[in-house]
Structures are given as structure tokens and as C-alpha cells.
A and B are shown apart, each in its own frame.
Chain A
Amino acid sequence: EAQVTQNPRYLITVTGKKLTVTCSQNMNHEYMSWYRQDPGLGLRQIYYSMNVEVTDKGDVPEGYKVSRKEKRNFPLILESPSPNQTSLYFCASAPRGGGRSPLHFGNGTRLTVT
């Protein structure tokens, strides 16, 4: 089944403890991206990647890192999480970049930082 898989679905952590949220897609998509969803703010793009070893900042990249060493994987790294990063996170992929094809979303990761 074609899908975007995120893990974990739920994560509770403490301020400053490094964490990684994994994202993997099995559709051979070139484009992958991360979003955070907060009430009243919609979906905001954190980082995106056009292809392997190519990553770019979105609108809210502060406090996050990403890597794209393989085409299928695009992990989101929080080196020192803070409470304002408590949010619902979605990974998404698309066949190609350039904003020309629809995004396929993962099931989301609800992160709580205390």
C-alpha cells in the first residue's frame, strides 16, 4: 500500500531532550516536507526537500533540523525541544517539487514538550 509512515504517533518529552520523528514513504516521491499544525494557524511548513541531499527551510524552521540521505526517509530532528514546539506534526511527500503535484500526508505525530 502506498503510504507515508511517521513514527511515533504520540511523544511526550521534556525540555532539552533531543528527539527524532521519523518519516518514510514507499512511493518513490522526490519531494518531502514537514508541517506543524496549531489551532487557528493551519499547517505551516518547517522544512522541505526536493531530492536526496537537498533540503530547504520553510516558514518556521527555527529549532528544527532535517536530513535527506535516502530518497524514502526524511527525519525531523529537535536538538533541544522547548514547550513552544508542542504541536501536531505532519510529514508529507509528493511525486515532484515545484508545487505542481498534490501532497500525501502521514498520520501525524502529536508532540508534547513539558
Chain B
Amino acid sequence: GENVEQHPSTLSVQEGDSAVIKCTYSDSASNYFPWYKQELGKRPQLIIDIRSNVGEKKDQRIAVTLNKTAKHFSLHITETQPEDSAVYFCAASGGVTGNQFYFGTGTSLTVIP
């Protein structure tokens, strides 16, 4: 099946700086890549997603880039704020196994005021 690796596992940034989280995947047939934010004690919530026919997508301070050739995708958060502090998960799906979602192990982001 698919294998998704996520780095770094922890990330601390100063408020206002940018944060970048990277994920790699193994199944070249995967075609849907969502990112989820999980605040402490809460459920994961979708923040942005990208499909394999698109190289980049932006939503205000959040952007995701996809490099299909290298099989990696990244989350970019600009002008970070304390409320961005959370655990972020990347995921890949739609590959050979079709209906399964494979998640990375998460990145704990801390934004220091």
C-alpha cells in the first residue's frame, strides 16, 4: 500500500514567520492530497487539499504545493499566528488501493508570540 512520510515531527516558529511541512508518498497513482489541522483535544479538520492535476493551491495564508515527479507535497503557512499552533497531518489517497486514506505521522507546530 501507500507509505506517507511527514517531516518535521515538531516545528517552532516565531509569530509572523513562515512554516513549511513536507510529506512524501510512495504510490505514484495517488491523486488526492488533503491537509488536516488538529487542535489539542479536538478532531482533525481539513484546511486545504490538492489534486494531482494541480501543482499549487492557495487559501489566504495557507498554500500547498505538489511535485508529482518527486512524489512530495508541502504545506506552507505564512505570517503565522498563535492560533496556528496545532498538529498538522498530511494524507494521500486514490492510489492503487483506491479508497483508503494514508496519513503522515503529524507535525506539532508551535507559534511563539
**Chain B 70-94 residues near chain A, CB threshold 8 A:** 89, 91, 93-94
- Verify if B61 is at the interface (C-beta below 8 Å from A): no
Docked Cα-Cα span, A85 to B95, in Å, equals: 28
A22 to chain B, nearest CB (A): 16
Q: Which of A12-20, A42-50, A62-70, A71-79 makes up part of the contact surface?
A: A42-50
Q: Which residues of B contact A56 (CB under 8 A)?
A: 99
CB <8 Å contact, A103 and B101: yes
- Verify if B105 is at the interface (C-beta below 8 Å from A): yes
Docked Cα-Cα span, A111 to B1, in Å, equals: 27
Docked Cα-Cα span, A59 to B33, in Å, equals: 18
CB <8 Å contact, A42 and B32: no
CB <8 Å contact, B93 and A105: no
CB <8 Å contact, B99 and A98: yes
CB <8 Å contact, B106 and A42: yes
Q: Which residues of B contact A100 (CB under 8 A)?
A: 31-32, 51, 93-94
User: Within the complex, which residue of B1, B42, B98, B106 is in contact with A99, where a contact is CB–CB below 8 Å?
Assistant: B98
The interface of chain A, by Cβ under 8 A from chain B, is 31, 33, 35, 40-45, 48, 50, 56, 58-59, 90, 97-108
The interface of chain B, by Cβ under 8 A from chain A, is 1, 6, 9, 30-32, 34, 36, 42-46, 49, 51, 89, 91, 93-95, 98-106
